[in-house]
Amino acid sequence: MSTAVADREWVLPIGGRMRPAEQGRTYEVECPATELTLTTAPDASPADVDEAVQVAADGAAAWRQVDVRERGRRLRALAEVIRAHADELAMLDALDSGNPVTAMHNDVAWGAEVLDLFADFASHLGGATIPASPENLHYTRRAPFGVVARIVPFNHPIFFASSKVAAPLMAGNAVVLKPSDITPLSALRLGELAADILPPGVLSVVTGNGPAAASALVKHPLVRRIGFIGSDRVGRIIQRDAAEVGVKEISLELGGKNALIVCPDADLDAAATGIVNGMNFAWSQGQSCGSTSRVLLHSSVADHVLNSVLDHVSTIPVGSPIDPATRMGPLASRAQYDKARSYIDIATAEGATVAYGGGRPEGMDKGYFLEPTVLTDVRPGMRIEQEEVFGPVMSVLTFDDLDEAVRIANGVDFGLTGSVWTRDVSTAVSLADRLEAGYVWINGSSRHFWGMPFGGTKSSGIGREESIEELLSYTELKAVNVLV
């Protein structure tokens, strides 16, 4: 498979037509497991981005007139094609992201499920009648924006590429998709597969090395709606750049420094399993904005839970991402690896203790492999407790009462997810209500439930996804008053 990837010529799917980037520009895509060049991908110029947007503007005019049920049928057809190419897409993601291929099979399946979910939502695109006056007719309609930019990160390439075009397409928009420059391959392949299903101009994929292509997309005057997933720093850049050229609707799903609280009455063994699952060690090497990377243990149960967590972590098989037995692969890039290692060093310098991991797995001298790492003796206010690592580094803190737990949990700039473990219903509901987070699990972690709105508060973003709210966010509401 890796030879086939290296030997093929990757092209830009621009509105259904396959072509190289301007002047044949390409850049190297690295395999993080080997640190070797995997292949070359198109390096889109601003002119390439402009063509993709212009084609999308033409495609959007026709696509918005297509019956919503037919749009839903096209999304379902795309989901089926994705399922039919599951092995190929999962392997592409394993090769250029480092995520385990077995986990990427789940990402493929979930991306297809979300396409089906938004096809199910077709009838929710209607408006309402409003009794604003007794003698007249007042109603609302929902209309698509036109051209939508979807900019997605490297940690779940095919899942984000497929699932994040679902809502804007269902709403009647044309989409220009920009994947991470680290992991462009499955998105490019998705664009090729979609060309036989979606009308011309409705979906384009642009890839590029560095921020130039994304910046050109954000600043394009015909792009009126932007959906971004990534860091809070880049989210702020997108807000600023977009504002320079006009007023645009922007949704941001950004970082997290998420707290998982274990109360003294919790099922402690289940909580320990939930803690390890919540860090997403075995899905994306902890490179997940929703990871519960701050574990808050009641002091009376801290030792018991921590020992169980360490037992679980020690059994995670780390290895080649294309090996079906691997549950944890390498980090996605040298930059991600260096960042995670630097935060471990910062944490220990500030007084934290490495209870497990902290370095390369034995025998893995090549690739961006880092052991699952558990830090203890972490205190509120440490950088490791405040800042997102986006890697396999978990911080463990203790608390003596629930008010203290809430203060620690809410004492960061982020507010994406949270998790509460307790057998007491009143405690569970109270803590869930008090947590400054957009998505909370009670006696659970990590899992997403399609249809439940996912998104954060504070620096974790604006807007909600995976739900009706996401679909409606890709429409504009028009009020019509019929005077009789």
- DSSP sequence for 133-154: SSSSEEEEEEEE-SEEEEE--S
The answer to whether 433 and 264 have CB atoms below 8 angstroms apart is no
Structure tokens at 433: 């209500």
Is the separation of the CB atoms in 460 and 416 below 8 Å? yes
DSSP letters spanning 310-362? HHHHTTPPB--TTSTT-SB---SSHHHHHHHHHHHHHHHHTT-EEEE--SPPT
What is the structure's pLDDT at 7?
79
Residues of the chain with pLDDT under 70: 1-3
Q: Tokens 């360490």 — which residue?
A: 310
Q: How far apart are CA 278 and CA 458, in angstroms?
A: 21
User: Can 31 be counted among the known catalytic residues?
Assistant: no
Sign of CA dihedral 234, 186, 20, 224: negative
- Contact between 416 and 441 under an 8 Å Cβ cutoff? The reply is no
SS3 192: helix
User: What's the confidence (pLDDT) of residue 5?
Assistant: 83
CB 94 within 8 A of CB 104: yes
Round to whole Å and give the CA distance between 297 and 30. Answer: 39
Residue type, 94: A
> Catalytic annotation on 289?
yes
Among candidate residues 31, 289, 371, 388, the one labeled active-site is 289
Report d(CA 242, CA 218) in Å as an integer.
6
Please measure the distance between the N-terminal and C-terminal CA atoms of the chain and give it in whole angstroms: 67
List 30, 51, 88, 253, catalytic entry: 253
pTM of the model: 0.96
Rg (C-alpha) for the chain, rounded Å, is 23
- Specify the pairing of strand 147-151 against strand 223-229: parallel
Question: Residue 184 and residue 201: Cα distance in Å, rounded?
Answer: 20
Q: In the beta sheet, which residues pair with residue 14?
A: 17
